[in-house]
Amino acid sequence: MKTYQGKSILKGTAIGKILYYSKEEQMVQRKSIEDPKAELERYEAAKAQAGEQLNALYEKALKEVGEQGAAIFEVHGMMLEDDDFNDSIKNMIEAQKVNAEYAVATTGDNFSMMFSQMEDEYFKARSADIKDIAERVVGILQGRHAAGDLGDEPVILAAKDLAPSETVQMDKSKLLGFVTELGSANSHTAILARTMNIPALIGIPVDADLDGKMAVIDGVKGELIVDPDEETLAYYQNKKEEEQKQRELLQQLKGKEDVTLDGKKIRLYANIGSVGDVARVLANDAGGIGLFRSEFLYLEKDTFPTEEEQFQAYRTVAETMAGKKVIIRTLDIGADKQADYFHLAHEENPAMGYRAIRICLDQPEIFKTQLRALLRASAFGNIGIMFPMIISVKEVQQAKQYVAEIKAELDEKGIPYGDVELGVMIETPAAVIISEQLAKEVDFFSIGTNDLTQYTLAIDRQNAKLDNIYDSHHPAVLEMIRMTVENGHKGGCWVGICGELGADITLTETFLKMGVDELSVTPGSVLPIREIIRNTSVK
């Protein structure tokens, strides 16, 4: 038995086998082989496994984002069976007597380059598809686990680090918890762990030797216990059962109103990152969705999601929530949320760089595609649109102008849309200072406490070395929140909190007494927060 000390992202207990995941690109070496027939059989087996993975991804996407969103995996499956692609690989193995990994990688590069140089935009877009398919097959041949492939049994995932795009592709039903060596408690990957309500640790030394070993995550102590003895395992199994009983007690709060002892009604909503997260929202009885991080629709793909793909995702969420409020944040790409096809240049300080609303206003066609999808989907539910990373009134006015233009286009075509509330994220000190002016432009504010803390304290939330002084309870941060609530109400809009601080039960009463109208939290935090609301008097 060996115990590793790390830092906890979410309190709770996880028990299961470790799956070691390495995302490091492994160099594909050219090797001479003696038996081309055996190598061809290796390739065929890997190709068949890749086909099974793509079919599974198609079925998963079909349930979560609809037929349009799932189509990419169907296309990949067809390209995997392409005769020219396969003939090139097989010929290389037989004629040159080289290993299958080299043949697949070389063919993938050749075909990808060929497609990228074509004039037809459709075929150009297939360049990235070919590369993705080749990498999938090479990964299988090398015995590497794909980010979304967790196997048949639920596991504790161990990795050096995880990007948000990798985390979002994982089958949440197979993820008991995860541990990483790198990363920060305030990263978007950590936020996703809290959204999924799974125990997670950072700062744990991770290597391939952990793969397949039984382990326990103690989210309270921040410990990973590998190869626990029988006594330790029995202790944590009992602890896990106690945690389950506590969750069952909270279930009694389902259906109860989110009202304080003195009668103030609070909007208690949930944060999500994908269509699949809606099940957790409903299971935890949230009053609505206060933050749908739409950028994860982009991070899941290797090219820009179409208007139709986005529309289907937004419509599905709106319909499933059956008239409850669904606030969708427009694209917040950049900083630690990177998608290769955006071709964002390297920046020394990306958190304060080219990201979020800045990209949208600078590249209006991307923005307008999303706005059209959002407005079309609003005809099927109660949708609100929220703009992130605002620092000026001018930005809000420009965004509203685009919304007005899209509405005019839809009116001209006779396409219906709903009565959409518009809001902004308050996550910069600049937005706090001018919040009374901003309030006159919008229907609501949502305070993003993660970035607001980062910018107020001048601390990079991704820098694990500064976790010890990153203080979301800092008096300056709490004063920023108080000012925002006061100025928002003066300007005539309602004010919520959608950052991680909203789920901090030590501050719930403080926020209620400040006059906060809405708290949007991870789905698993809804019922614990409801319990506090119902036992608090704001007077």
Does pLDDT of 484 surpass 90?
A: yes
| Phi/psi at 48 (5° precision) | -65, -40
Catalytic annotation on 343? no
pLDDT tens for each residue of 97-154: 999 999 999 999 888 888 777 776 666 667 777 887 888 899 888 877 655 566 678 9
- Report the pLDDT value the prediction gives residue 26, as an integer from 0 to 100: 58
Angle between helix axes 364-377 and 393-413 (nearest 10 degrees) is 60
**From 188, 346, 360, 493, active-site residue:** 188
Q: What DSSP character marks residue 336?
A: T
Of 55 and 268, the structure prediction assigns the larger pLDDT to 268
In this structure, the strands spanning 518-521 and 223-226 are unpaired
Closest CA to 194 of 217, 171, 178: 178
H or E element that contains 462:
none
Does pLDDT of 25 surpass 60?
A: no
| Phi/psi at 146 (5° precision) | -75, 150
Instruction: Give the separation between CA 348 and CA 352, rounded to whole angstroms.
Output: 9
Least confident residue range of 134-138, 179-183, 331-335, 379-383? 331-335
Those residues with Cβ within 8 angstroms of residue 162's Cβ, 6 or more apart along the chain or in another chain? 21, 23, 147, 178, 180, 183, 189
CA angle 46, 144, 20 (to 5 degrees): 145
Reduced to 3 states, what is the DSSP secondary structure of residue 171? Answer: coil
- Report the pLDDT value the prediction gives residue 283, as an integer from 0 to 100: 87
Count of alpha carbons within 13 Å of 508, Cβ hemisphere only? 25
pLDDT tens for each residue of 59-99: 766 665 566 556 777 888 888 998 889 999 999 999 999 99
- Is the pTM of the predicted complex or chain greater than 0.75? no
Does pLDDT of 238 surpass 80?
A: yes
**From 145, 360, 493, 498, active-site residue:** 498
- Report the pLDDT value the prediction gives residue 297, as an integer from 0 to 100: 82
- Report the pLDDT value the prediction gives residue 45, as an integer from 0 to 100: 94
The pLDDT-based confidence of 280 (bands split at 50, 70, 90) is confident
Does pLDDT of 468 surpass 60?
A: yes
Catalytic annotation on 498? yes
- Report the pLDDT value the prediction gives residue 162, as an integer from 0 to 100: 76
The pLDDT-based confidence of 351 (bands split at 50, 70, 90) is confident
